[in-house]
Amino acid sequence: MAYVITDACVACGTCISECPVEAISEGDIYKIDPDVCVECGTCVDVCPTGAIQPAE
């Protein structure tokens, strides 16, 4: 299951630089493209606010 970025995102950019498949796009709140995400969890591990969660 892919991950999603919640409203807790502060758009710090940490996750973008860590994503190996460039599935994360910038914005006021970043977004993860579920069709590109390979579910590696790297973004979850580096997010300082815990804003990245498994999609339901």
Q: For 30-55, write each residue's pLDDT tens digit.
A: 999 999 999 999 999 999 999 999 98
Is 8:51 a contact under the CB 8 Å cutoff?
yes
Mean per-residue pLDDT for 23-30?
A: 93
Instruction: Evaluate if residue 4 carries a pLDDT over 90.
Output: yes
Instruction: Evaluate if residue 29 carries a pLDDT over 90.
Output: no
- Statement: the pTM of the whole predicted model exceeds 0.85: yes
Instruction: Evaluate if residue 14 carries a pLDDT over 90.
Output: yes
Which domains, ranges and CATH numbers included, belong to the chain?
3-54 (3.30.70.20)
Q: For 2-54, give the DSSP string.
A: -EEE-TT----SHHHHH-TT--EE-SSS-EE-TTT-----HHHHH-TT--EEE
